[in-house]
Structure 1
Amino acid sequence: MDFNKNLDKYAELAVKVGVNIQSGQILLVRSPIECASFVRSVLKHAYQNGAKNVHIEWSDEESTLIKYLNAPEETFNDFPKWIADQYVDIAKEGGAFLTIYAQNPDLLKNVDPQRVANYQKASGIALKEWRSYTLSDKCKWSIVSVPTEAWAKKVFPNENPENAVEKLWDAIFKCSRVENQNPVEAWKQHNKDLKSRMDFLNKNNFKSLRYKSSITDLTVELPEGHIWLSGSSQDPNGVEFNANIPTEEVYTMPHKFKVNGFVHSTKPLVYGGNVIDNFTLTFKDGKVIDCKAEKGYETLEKLISTDEGSHYLGEVALVPFKSPISDTNIVFFNTLYDENASCHFALGAAYRTCMKDGENLKSEDLDNYGINDSLTHVDFMIGSSDLDIIGQTYDGNQIQIFKSGNWAF
């Protein structure tokens, strides 16, 4: 009974706080078929909150794997135009998008990485117009996660499948504040707390950030006019939504051409059905000039080589080492959770909303403002218990932002 109650509260949270469905709005839900019971609950809450229509796009990982292992090579150089058109049409109509992210981290470990890279690039090209809506908050979108057996067994390898799924559900409910008596109200307070950090960073208008730990030494300059954001966002109609549930981050964009030094990962990165772990990126004038990885090097190399913009950073995100997700001491092998347990960067496109009037800039003008553009946007985690971050203001003052992995103010 408690599980069913929490499951219903989680679905309500995804609808009311995640995409915040409004009366007469269309919702597209993208989900693995294993998460059908949760999607049905989302469907109920969406219609109860006024949704005009809910479309469901199902996926099946076993079918995906069969395709990657058996389809002809040219299959992975194309992405269905009708899918891309559907996304854009829904965005133009003011619709919302909810993604259930529950990937098996090892799904494609035996697949030729070039096939995966080709399809990632093809989908990035096809979905570029739609991603322009999400990157600039021109539509409401949200990501939540639901345990699947394959994912849960990766997180809890010593448990039987049933226990692994149960333990992962418990962690998700805890990290998403579903166990609160009123999760919707709890999220309102959480967003308020995040915005107090955001306001401090915006008030100081930092010129640069210096990251220093036992494995990282990186200086990141920020473009003039940058904006720190956190937690909830607003669509063009001023309706609040949370793109990530859970979230613990305050984030902005780096200057595309002013990142120098090296940074080492502190959590595994799952990308394209493969795990990349224990890797180092070296930057000069913003660009990755060298990369090393203990695991998944070829996948990392192909990620960086997606296009010109994937060689540069598009996001700087601050997350304290001590936070509800980090305190679970679980490596989730799921970027939604792992990125919200750790400071992180993203290779690829910047969020236009992190620049004053950024959503109105033309693509050909972005470099002039230091804003990165790319077909991809991939977060990777670099936070640790010994990470210090010093912010330098335009008048030369230095302010400690993080000390020993946590907020210093």
Structure 2
Amino acid sequence: MLKAKELTIYARLLIQLGVNLQPGQNLAIRASTDAAPLVRKLVEVAYESGAPHVLVDWSDDEINRIRLRMAPEETLAFVPEGKVEDFIRMIEGGAAVISILTPKPELLKDVETSRIATVTKAMGKAMKKYQELAQGGEISWTIGVVPTAEWANVVFPELGEEAALAKLWESIKLATRLDHGDPLAYWQAYANRLEERTAWLNDQQFTRLQYWGPGTELTVELPKNHRWLGGGLKNSQGVYFLPNIPTEEVFTAPVRNGVNGRVRNSKPLVYNGQVIDGFTLTFENGQVVQAEAETGNASLQALLQMDAGAAHLGEVALVPHDSVLSKLGVVFRNTLFDENASCHFALGAAYPFCIEDGVTMSKEERAGNGLNESVIHVDFMVGTAELDIDAVTVEGRVVPLFRNGNWV
């Protein structure tokens, strides 16, 4: 566990830079009961920062697991309307949102995939408005994490539980730079460097990217007037915030029907408490036409069938193999950390702000500009030390971007 001072530093990092909470702005926190010490500190810092009201939307991982295992099948799609409405009403009123993860990679390994898919789909529909507000750049949001013993045992199976949890906390401190003298200043400066990279990429307006790596040979078309982003974002009120801490990526959206070839994952994907690993996806005209995983294949198939957009890509992200997260040498089995150690894609929804004026477009206009829509947005990692990526200009000139996993 973090020491009291470190817990306060982490809370301030998430409040003051993560969502950049403004005086007079409400805050909503979504968290498991396992994260209670950090959540209490977040509430304290939020009120110190001038929040009129802080809403904590609690969940309990074990209760959720019991429901998934034992509730009647016909009840699994039920989502309490009042709870969702309160949350949506608050963020529609301008509240910032902090989600605190308490990963347990194998929590639902004994639960039928179809039951998990039913609950996931129902919750995705119920929270569609939140997804639209977050992905449309209307609100400030960020993600934090609290390690669990279950997670630590998976990441460091060679250690005893206490030692594993201590090492995982230490790894998270290094990843989030809580060991730095001034983490807020560090991340602001680092975000500025990422934004310099995105400015260069946006000036180029490449038409497509070409990937080569172990098990990967893929071509990804990019929309006209696409925008690369990285580091911080600005919400519709012009407030700067940092949605991911840590963050090492620059990202944009691909053309929904413009992905062809095959891609192999490089790190395990933990989705809905189940591990998916050793998988290859084959794309034709943007859609996954063949997919098979050595581990968690049923979960992979359920993910791809979530809705019409789930088998298409919504994000392409570039992360050098020599990133700080990658150099830690830890496979976290958690997307927040692993995606910042590896180039990755996301199945599902694209962010509207990844094309010029996308946030003001109708759904039909976004689709016409090549953006994918879905109730899911699930990142999976493909970066390795052998990955090469080329970009192609409008004139057809090939520009090397990555060689041996890193920026040229």
Instruction: Report the Cα offset of residue 53 of structure 1.
Output: 1.1
Tell me the equivalent position of 2:132: 132
CA distance in 1, matches of 2:357, 2:86: 27
Tell me the equivalent position of 1:399: 399
Does the 8 Å CA contact 2:30/2:57 hold for their aligned counterparts? Answer: yes
CA distance in 1, matches of 2:343, 2:299: 22
Aligned residues: 408
Instruction: Report the Cα offset of residue 80 of structure 1.
Output: 2.1
Q: Deviations over 1:60-109 (max 9, x none)?
A: 11111111111110222222222332232112111011001122111111
Does the 8 Å CA contact 1:276/1:296 hold for their aligned counterparts? Answer: yes
Does the 8 Å CA contact 1:310/1:347 hold for their aligned counterparts? Answer: yes
Change over 3 Å in CA distance of 1:105–1:233 after alignment to 2: same
SS of the equivalent of 2:46 reads helix
Matches within 5 A, 1:244-263: 244-263=244-263
Tell me the equivalent position of 1:48: 48
CA distance in 1, matches of 2:33, 2:337: 21
CA distance in 2, matches of 1:291, 1:39: 39
CA distance in 1, matches of 2:308, 2:10: 39
Are 2:207 and 1:207 aligned? yes
CA distance in 2, matches of 1:203, 1:247: 22
Does the 8 Å CA contact 2:103/2:147 hold for their aligned counterparts? Answer: no
Q: Percent identity?
A: 43
CA distance in 2, matches of 1:127, 1:62: 22
Matches within 5 A, 1:139-150: 139-150=139-150
Tell me the equivalent position of 2:299: 299
Structure 2 residue identity aligned to 1:204? Q
CA distance in 1, matches of 2:211, 2:263: 9
Tell me the equivalent position of 1:34: 34
Instruction: Report the Cα offset of residue 297 of structure 1.
Output: 0.4
Structure 1 residue identity aligned to 2:195? K
Tell me the equivalent position of 1:9: 9
SS of the equivalent of 2:76 reads helix
CA distance in 2, matches of 1:372, 1:83: 29
Does the 8 Å CA contact 2:28/2:91 hold for their aligned counterparts? Answer: no
Does the 8 Å CA contact 1:84/1:130 hold for their aligned counterparts? Answer: no
Tell me the equivalent position of 2:115: 115
Q: Deviations over 1:10-43 (max 9, x none)?
A: 1110111111111011111111112111111111
Change over 3 Å in CA distance of 1:2–1:53 after alignment to 2: closer
Q: Deviations over 1:319-374 (max 9, x none)?
A: 11111111111111111011111100000000001011111111133321111000
Are 2:347 and 1:379 aligned? no
SS of the equivalent of 1:77 reads coil
SS of the equivalent of 2:324 reads coil
TM-score (norm 2): 0.98
Let me know the Cα RMSD of the aligned residues: 1.2
Structure 2 residue identity aligned to 1:122? A
Structure 2 residue identity aligned to 1:346? A
Structure 1 residue identity aligned to 2:211? Y
SS of the equivalent of 1:309 reads coil
SS of the equivalent of 1:150 reads helix
Structure 1 stretches of 5 or more lacking a match?
none
Instruction: Report the Cα offset of residue 148 of structure 1.
Output: 1.2
CA distance in 2, matches of 1:252, 1:72: 41
Structure 1 residue identity aligned to 2:248? E
Tell me the equivalent position of 2:94: 94
Does the 8 Å CA contact 1:10/1:173 hold for their aligned counterparts? Answer: no
Tell me the equivalent position of 2:75: 75
Tell me the equivalent position of 1:277: 277
Are 2:110 and 1:105 aligned? no
Structure 2 residue identity aligned to 1:262? R
Tell me the equivalent position of 2:85: 85
Matches within 5 A, 1:229-240: 229-240=229-240
Structure 2 residue identity aligned to 1:23? P
Deviation larger for 393-402 or 258-267: 393-402
Q: Which runs of 4+ in 1 moved over 6 A?
A: none
Instruction: Report the Cα offset of residue 310 of structure 1.
Output: 0.4
Instruction: Report the Cα offset of residue 3 of structure 1.
Output: 3.0
